[in-house]
């Protein structure tokens, strides 16, 4: 049975080996893998700590006798470094009870292959991880637990199939037969979806996929009338907005837009302050989930002759939301006050870009906002829609 010093020595040597070109089979020159004993055990050089000194030396001697490493001691019985025996690497893994990295990599690939073709996000993730394995890089969202890794991918597959608003615990039961399992994986699942999917904001990924904490509402106001289960609500005569629960959206029979324009608004404050007798307003609540998208589609089917526009932040998130809204509803929403003139007009109220902002803005080049994005990058600025006067 290996003691703690033997384990630390062998694991450090194998870690070095697994990070090397020799491990990848790309090194034509035989490499040697050594670690400094002093660096590995900081108290080894402290001769007053005889227990550590003796324990480390005994561990080195045991490994050397087994032929797993080579080591030399000076007259004071001090060992400066230990070297892994290349021809004994398999025996070193066996002695530690450690799975070789090549075996783990193959098991990871096997898991990835089981999710091939499930959806575009998983296919993109799989392709990138196989590439990373080939480059001897770590696999994202894999911490050594293959079952957890498989469950992360299963969660991604299952989330993209959710068609109606679902509580997180109910989703977890359906996907894993365990109400708490998804909560344990949630952060990694969201990170994977955000990196490989098309979501404007990380904190809205789950809601956009219909995973909610509470039932959601679609807030509307302005120039329109809604018929629900035979009851007509004329929004044009009301002062303020109403919230329609997602649970009764299917009961809406008809939506008459009495004005000339339908406008979606990204942020709540701007939704409340926006006022125009000729416009029907819809609050998106940041990002739009399937419930809001289906509501918008129903409006468009019954009122396709109206003008459709979107009012949001002049930043990467705002542009992503607009493009995604157009893509998912197949409605040609026009940006409202999200142009260069508006940004220049309210330049004094702008904020500086983060590194993440810059990366995301560059990714948006060629997708309809080049003029304003070029200005934002050149002048280090972005603008929240609350700073913009709706009138």
Q: What is the pLDDT of residues 328-379, one digit of tens each?
A: 899 999 999 999 999 999 999 999 999 989 999 999 999 999 999 999 999 9
Residues 161 and 283 occupy one common structural domain: no
> Are residue 226 and residue 351 in the same domain, yes or no?
yes
Spatial contact of 241 and 213, defined as CB atoms under 8 Å apart: no
Containing structural domain, residue 48: 4-96
**Distance, CA of 300 to CA of 335 (rounded, Å):** 17
* Six-digit token string for 257: 């837009």
Residues 109 and 162 in one domain: yes
My answer on whether 262 and 358 are in the same domain is yes
Residues 268 and 383 in one domain: yes
DSSP, collapsed to helix, strand or coil, labels residue 47 as coil
Domain end position, chosen among 156, 184, 211:
211
Whether residue 78 is found in the same domain as residue 155:
no
Dist. CA 342–CA 311, nearest whole Å: 12
Q: Give me the pLDDT at residue 355, please.
A: 94
Note whether 199 and 291 are same-domain residues.
no
Give me the residue label for tokens 């560059």: 362
For residues 189 and 186, what is the distance between their CA atoms, to the nearest angstrom? 5
Q: Is the CB of residue 264 less than 8 Å from the CB of residue 310? A: yes
The total domain count for the chain is: 3
Residues 63 and 283: their CA atoms lie apart, in Å, by 68
- Return the pLDDT at 1: 44
Q: Which token pair is 314?
A: 């002049």
Mean pLDDT score, 94-106: 93
pTM: 0.76
Q: Are residues 302 and 365 in the same domain?
A: yes
Mean local confidence (pLDDT), 19-31: 71
- Specify whether 240 is located in the same domain as 258: yes
Q: What are phi and psi of 235, to 5 degrees?
A: -70, -25
Q: Which of 191, 211, 231 is the last residue of a domain?
A: 211
pLDDT band at 159 (very low <50, low <70, confident <90, very high): very high
When mean pLDDT is compared across 21-30, 65-74, 154-163, 237-246, the lowest value belongs to 21-30
* Domain end marker among 211, 238, 254: 211
In the three-class reduction of DSSP (H, G, I as helix; E, B as strand; rest coil), residue 19 is classed as: coil
Same domain flag for 135 and 163 = yes
Residues 243, 373, single domain; the answer is: yes
Residues 277 and 364 in one domain: yes
How far apart CA 382 and CA 375 sit, in angstroms, is 10
């Amino acid at each position: 049975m290996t003691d703690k010093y033997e384990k630390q020595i062998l694991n450090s040597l194998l870690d070095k080996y697994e990070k090397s070109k020799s491990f990848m089979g790309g090194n034509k020159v035989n490499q040697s893998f050594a670690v400094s004993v002093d660096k590995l055990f900081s108290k080894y050089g402290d001769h007053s700590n005889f227990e550590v000194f003796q324990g480390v030396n005994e561990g080195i001697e045991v490994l050397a006798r087994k032929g797993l490493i080579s080591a030399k001691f000076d007259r004071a019985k001090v060992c400066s470094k230990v070297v892994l025996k290349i021809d004994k690497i398999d025996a070193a893994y066996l002695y530690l009870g450690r799975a070789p990295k090549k075996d783990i990599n193959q098991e990871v690939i096997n898991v990835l292959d089981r999710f091939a073709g499930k959806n575009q996000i998983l296919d993109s993730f799989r392709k990138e991880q196989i590439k990373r394995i080939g480059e001897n890089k770590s696999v994202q969202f894999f911490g050594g637990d293959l079952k957890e890794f498989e469950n992360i991918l299963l969660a991604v597959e299952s989330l993209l199939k959710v068609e109606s608003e679902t509580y997180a615990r109910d989703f977890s039961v359906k996907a894993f037969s365990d109400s708490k399992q998804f909560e344990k994986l949630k952060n990694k699942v969201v990170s994977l979806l955000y990196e490989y999917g098309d979501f404007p904001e990380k904190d809205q990924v789950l809601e956009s996929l219909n995973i909610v904490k509470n039932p959601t509402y679609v807030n509307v106001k302005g120039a329109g009338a809604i018929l629900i289960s035979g009851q007509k609500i004329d929004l044009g005569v009301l002062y303020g907005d109403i919230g329609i629960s997602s649970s009764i959206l299917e009961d809406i029979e008809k939506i008459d837009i009495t004005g000339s324009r339908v406008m979606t608004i990204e942020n709540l404050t701007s939704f409340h302050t926006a006022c125009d007798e000729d416009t029907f307003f819809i609050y998106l609540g940041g990002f739009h989930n399937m419930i809001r998208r289906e509501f918008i589609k129903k409006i468009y089917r019954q009122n396709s002759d109206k003008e459709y526009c979107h009012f949001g932040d002049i930043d990467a998130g705002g542009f992503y939301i607009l493009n995604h809204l157009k893509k998912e509803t197949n409605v040609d929403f026009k940006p409202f006050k999200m142009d260069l003139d508006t940004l220049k007009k309210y330049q004094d109220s702008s904020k500086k870009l983060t590194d993440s902002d810059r990366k995301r803005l560059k990714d948006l080049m060629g997708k309809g906002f080049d003029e304003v994005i070029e200005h934002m990058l050149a002048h280090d600025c972005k603008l929240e829609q609350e700073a913009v006067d709706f009138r």
